[in-house]
Structure 1
């Protein structure tokens, strides 16, 4: 037992005394500058600004497809990358957006097509997934879908 304690004590003594280098001497000023720049850039985000956040198609006939274009601009401090655009259901289809990075000050657009399903007042949300600070931005469409065979009126 004494041999084991003596052996462990000797190993600990060797381990603690073998690190004689000062850690402060190993710091490279170039690495500090690179890390500071990286940290500053990490706090910069693109900002997605839409020309409109909601579009009202008004009154449409059941089954009639309608489309609108949402225009956007990058007003932030970093390139904007839109990774996905989805709607709340299959009746609303977002399409035609660029998956390439959009430079600061650049603009783009995407089309949203609604197939006229449903009845009465319909509202759909489109989620834009991007590298903004929030990560997701929302736009909406709405319409009053009338069935030509029924006697319904828009709700005011």
Structure 2
């Protein structure tokens, strides 16, 4: 009988622990820079909400390239609370932007891929320069 009660207690604790889980919900999973000038502001923000019922902890945020620097929020995000992940792209690199930012957390979906896209156009040539 004691074994049966112990098994029931373990099952109950396991069910209770699994019932509470963080869930990360992003407003948008892609940020479009559009066409921007070389050297312009490359900072963009991904906003999200913890739609789960446990605190959300972002453990790491990584970029697919060194030209993109993500910044994760510090500390846990309470259920129902919102926060953001900042992404700074090096806009001195001319050409198309196609990068992935991977977010690692304790959420029900522990790994989420975010994307940035756009184009950095070169500086306009001076009218005094020869073509």
- After TM superposition, the score normalised by the length of structure 2 is 0.80
Instruction: Identify the structure with the greater helix proportion.
Output: 1
SS of aligned partner of 2:22? coil
Paired with 2:70 and 2:107, the residues of 1 have a C-alpha distance of: 19
What does residue 99 of structure 2 align with?
124
Query: Is 1:97 matched up with 2:73?
Result: yes
Paired with 1:113 and 1:70, the residues of 2 have a C-alpha distance of: 11
Shift of 1:37: 2.3
> Structure 1: which 5+ runs fail to align?
1-24, 151-156
2:38 pairs with one of 27, 50, 62: 62
Instruction: Identify the structure with the greater strand proportion.
Output: 2
Shift of 1:50: 0.9
Query: Is 1:143 matched up with 2:127?
Result: no
What's the RMSD between the two structures over aligned residues? 2.2
**Alpha-carbon distance change, 136 to 57 in structure 1, aligned in 2, over 3 angstroms:** same
SS of aligned partner of 1:27? helix
Shift of 1:47: 1.3
Shift of 1:31: 6.3
Question: How many residues are aligned here?
Answer: 125
Q: Deviations over 1:32-78 (max 9, x none)?
A: 32541223322543211111111111112234341111111011232
- After TM superposition, the score normalised by the length of structure 1 is 0.69
2:51 pairs with one of 50, 75, 79: 75
Paired with 1:89 and 1:134, the residues of 2 have a C-alpha distance of: 23
What does residue 39 of structure 1 align with?
15
Larger relative contact order (C-alpha < 8 A, sep ≥ 6)? 2
* Counterpart contact for 2:58–2:72, Cα < 8 Å: no
**Alpha-carbon distance change, 89 to 41 in structure 1, aligned in 2, over 3 angstroms:** same
